Chains A and B, each alone.
Chain A
């Protein structure tokens, strides 16, 4: 089954304790992206990657890191989490199409609470 898999689904952590949220896709998509979803703010892009070893900042990159060492994986790293990073996080992937015709496939989400 074609899918984007995120882990964990739920995570409660303490301020300053490094964590990684994993994302993996099995569709050979070049493009992968991380979003956070907050009430009243919709989805905001954190980082994206156009291909292996190619990453760039989205709208809200502060406090996050990513890496793309393999095409299928795109982990999100919080080196020193803070309470304002409490949110619902989504990973998404797609083929790259100059016409912009392809939609995204999303993971099921990771609900992160930083206390």
Chain B
């Protein structure tokens, strides 16, 4: 079945450092790919998405490019801030598998940014 694998955390960075969180996927169809962010004590929020190969999703300075050849969707940000401290989840949705509106999530990567 479909699955998502993302790098284990926790990740600790200093403010203004470059961030990469790796995400790879396995899917039988043509999935849409997502990054969600979970701030402390809150639910998950959609951060960005890409719906086809070579698409780049971007939001709040974060970017991720849908790479079909490497089945990857790595999250990047050029200069992180303390306020970016959160747990980040990579996810995929592959509706062609059936009628289930299913979203498959990675295990999450906790990011801590220190001043």
Q: How far is the CB of A36 from chain B (nearest CB, A)?
A: 12
Chain B residues within CB distance 8 Å of chain A: 31-32, 34, 36, 41-46, 49, 51, 89, 93-96, 99-103, 105-108
Most chain B CB neighbours (cut-off 10 Å) among A4, A43, A94: A43
Contact A104 B44 (CB under 8 A): yes
- Counting chain A residues whose Cβ lies within 8 A of the other chain, the interface size class is 20 to 34
Please state if A42 and B44 are interface contacts (CB–CB under 8 Å): no
Q: How far is the CA of A15 from the CA of B102 in the complex (A)?
A: 31
In the complex, what distance in Å separates the CA atom of A59 from the CA atom of B101? 14
A82 at interface, CB cutoff 8 A = no
Partner of B101, one of A40, A41, A48: A48
What are the nearest 6 A-B pairs in CB distance?
Answer: A106-B43, A100-B93, A103-B46, A100-B95, A42-B107, A31-B101
Give the chain B neighbours of A97 by CB distance below 8 A.
95
A43 to B51 Cα, complex, angstroms: 22
Q: With both chains docked as a complex, state the minimum distance between the C-beta of B57 and any C-beta of chain A, in angstroms.
A: 10
- 12 more contacts with CB within 8 A, not counting A98-B95, A104-B46, are A31-B101, A33-B101, A40-B107, A42-B89, A42-B108, A45-B102, A48-B100, A100-B94, A100-B96, A103-B34, A107-B43, A109-B42
Nearest-CB distance from B28 to chain A (Å)?
13
Beyond A100-B32, A103-B49, A106-B44, whether A42 also contacts B101 by CB under 8 A is no
